[in-house]
Structure 1
Amino acid sequence: MRLRRWVRRRPPVSSLDVSRVEPLSGGRNEVVAWSGEDPLRPERRLRWRDHFTLTENLLHLPHLPDSHDGLRVAQLSDVHVGQATSDVRIRRAVEAVNAESPDLVFLTGDYVTHSARPLPRVREVLSGLKGRVFVVMGNHDHQVNAPYLRESFERLGYTVLQNEHRVVEVRGAPVTVLGVDDGRTGRDDVAATFRGAPESGTRLVLAHTPPTVEKLPAQGNLVQFSGHTHGGQFIVQGLTEAIFRRAGQPYIRGHYLVRGNQLYVNRGLGFGFGGPYLRRGSEPEVAFFTLRSRIALAAAG
């Protein structure tokens, strides 16, 4: 699916005003935002390592309740607190999310990398997200200390889901948020996640690894939000895709339709741009989504 993309100088995130564009025929749009002077750093120009991209995405759901038409979701993924990611970039991302006042905020795994040293900083740099925040764990989190991270997020008032679901009321109607634990480390249990959950209405799935989408109930009118791939991390056309497919990761970045459900793979906020890991052709991302019903879109058109 082709995306429209451009570069625009941004005001400080404390007064962020993301530009909007008309929907493309494919239903997904992207706004690239390179911010200028920032209140979190005194220099006139931000360092390269502090940049990230804001993306705007329309998700068309044929059976979306009328009250949820226009519902807004924000997603952060693969933050990798530590030397792989600038703290300023993370705090700017939190401010960018809050500036948009989304109905739901999703964090989809890998808050640390290999070391336990950054664990106390995770709660510090990811604190302050406003609204309903839902969290799942990634493979690196389990390899380092997932119980510690769960407790840290719960102290912030965020809801951590490990093969669990929650039903919350948003705009006067229920939303079911289903959090599948990490599939890379074999901790995913889709059956347990869906057990007792509503079988209709607005149902949104969080899962760190994209291939989890293949285990979801087919034709379920579900949307899965994932990360893990860093959008390919270092893009060499043809080669990157082949390597990921060989590794069992055919879903690298952006929007996919799989067995009657939708999948969005976030490029992640961390790993690269000033850290020890090379990143090319896959900018760090904060993703925003607007849910629309096909009926509402047809009427608007």
Structure 2
Amino acid sequence: MKSKGLSRRAFLKHSLFAVKALVTLAGATGIYAIFGERYWIQNKTIRLSFTRYPASFQGVRIVQFSDTHIGKYYSLARLQEMVEQVQRQKPDIICFTGDLFDSTYGEINHDVIPILSQLQAHMGKFAVLGNHDMRLDAKGVVDILEKSGFTVLVNENRSILHGNERIRVVGIDEMFHGKPNLPLALQGVAKDDFVLLLAHEPDFADTSIKFPIDLQLSGHSHGGQIRIPFYGSLFTPDLGQKYSIGLYAFAESEFRTYTNRGIGTTLFPIRFNCRPEITSFILETKMT
């Protein structure tokens, strides 16, 4: 009986220790997710090759950022830090794929203009709107982006010339609240043009692949924002579930789509196993 009593006390002691350890771990994880990871931006470089990519553009650096969600949980000071990180990538082209402000915990703020104006890319700065931008004030967000030096593309395209060659940057209207029209956006695009598409919602790729698009850049999903090891995302939004994070290739096609994890957060000011991201793309001409 005595030995059993000692075993029971030992069991209770070890159980209490385990509970305390789990509580401590959970607390540490929560602190990390709220105050650590969501500000720990990862700079990624992706190298891809395409048959239609013009040789004179080799070495051009396309830098994407997305989903800043400026507001209660993402301050102008943090935006300034992000802008400085983007500039350190020495971008030739900058692409922003939507959700400048958070429609739940943010508001239109013209104080972002002098910050975003610091972004410099000699081949251009391009943007599309996200669903939060549309819900908040689409015209107001367009005005801010344009005053910050961005060309906002809504079912339209622009040429970027380099030497005697060009690429096309196409922007599609937002899917939830806008009227995306890819045939309209592609007007004037030649069959041999390399086409870079900006589309806020990544699942638009199922439409893009039916058209002469080479590379789609998207955001929206935040990569899931909270990703459990060996399980994946706890939640991904509509139109960001099929292509929720990273690079996707498609059978019998050179078409690629990339989903950036974004900068800010939505719903909860938490990131876990899903750092915010700035992505640089170095594209090359595929030899045939």
- Give the TM-score band, short-chain normalised: 0.7 to 0.9
Aligned-pair distance for 1:166?
0.7
CA contact (8 A) 2:226 2:233 kept: no
Letter in structure 2 aligned against 1:51: W
Compare the two structures and name the one with the higher helix fraction.
2
Aligned pair 1:85/2:74, yes or no? yes
Write the deviation string for residues 19-62 of structure 1: whole angstroms up to 9, x where unpaired: xxxxxxxxxxxxxxxxxxxxxxxxxxxx7354311111102212
Aligned pair 1:230/2:219, yes or no? no
Q: Please show how residues 78-157 of structure 1 align to structure 2 within 5 Å.
A: 78-115=67-104, 117-131=107-121, 132-157=124-149
Aligned-pair distance for 1:246?
7.9
Q: CA RMSD in A?
A: 2.5
**Taking structure 1 as reference, are residues 247 and 95 closer, same or farther at Cα in structure 2, changes over 3 Å only?**
closer
**Taking structure 1 as reference, are residues 264 and 195 closer, same or farther at Cα in structure 2, changes over 3 Å only?**
same
**Taking structure 1 as reference, are residues 83 and 246 closer, same or farther at Cα in structure 2, changes over 3 Å only?**
closer
Aligned pair 1:249/2:241, yes or no? yes
- Residue 181 of structure 1 is matched in structure 2 by 173
Write the deviation string for residues 195-223 of structure 1: whole angstroms up to 9, x where unpaired: 22222222110000001111125373510
Q: How many residues get paired?
A: 248
- Residue 11 of structure 2 is matched in structure 1 by none
In 2, Cα distance between the equivalents of 1:278 and 1:196? 43
Write the deviation string for residues 215-255 of structure 1: whole angstroms up to 9, x where unpaired: 12537351000000001111125654585498762111110
Letter in structure 1 aligned against 2:283: L
Aligned pair 1:161/2:150, yes or no? no
Letter in structure 2 aligned against 1:220: P
- Residue 259 of structure 2 is matched in structure 1 by 265
- Residue 52 of structure 1 is matched in structure 2 by 41
Give SS of 2:119's match: coil
CA contact (8 A) 2:170 2:198 kept: yes
Letter in structure 1 aligned against 2:169: V
**Superposition misfits of 4+ residues, deviation over 6 angstroms:** 245-248
Aligned-pair distance for 1:63?
2.7
Aligned-pair distance for 1:282?
0.5
For residue 206 of structure 1, the aligned residue among 175, 198, 203 is: 198
In 1, Cα distance between the equivalents of 2:280 and 2:145? 21
The two structures have a TM-score, normalised by structure 2, of 0.78
**Taking structure 1 as reference, are residues 221 and 84 closer, same or farther at Cα in structure 2, changes over 3 Å only?**
same
Aligned-pair distance for 1:285?
0.6
Larger radius of gyration: 2
CA contact (8 A) 1:253 1:265 kept: yes
CA contact (8 A) 1:71 1:292 kept: no
- Residue 23 of structure 1 is matched in structure 2 by none
**What are structure 1's unaligned runs of at least 5 residues?**
1-46
Percent of aligned pairs sharing the same letter: 29
- Residue 19 of structure 2 is matched in structure 1 by none
Q: Which structure's relative contact order is higher, taking Cα pairs within 8 Å and 6+ residues apart?
A: 2
**What are structure 2's unaligned runs of at least 5 residues?**
1-34
Q: Please show how residues 66-77 of structure 1 align to structure 2 within 5 Å.
A: 66-77=55-66
**Taking structure 1 as reference, are residues 248 and 232 closer, same or farther at Cα in structure 2, changes over 3 Å only?**
closer
**Taking structure 1 as reference, are residues 282 and 74 closer, same or farther at Cα in structure 2, changes over 3 Å only?**
same
Aligned-pair distance for 1:118?
4.2
CA contact (8 A) 1:52 1:89 kept: no
In 1, Cα distance between the equivalents of 2:185 and 2:113? 25
**Taking structure 1 as reference, are residues 172 and 119 closer, same or farther at Cα in structure 2, changes over 3 Å only?**
farther
CA contact (8 A) 2:221 2:240 kept: no
For residue 62 of structure 1, the aligned residue among 36, 40, 51 is: 51
- Residue 26 of structure 1 is matched in structure 2 by none
CA contact (8 A) 2:125 2:150 kept: yes
Letter in structure 1 aligned against 2:99: D
Tell which deviates more after alignment, 285-294 or 135-144.
285-294
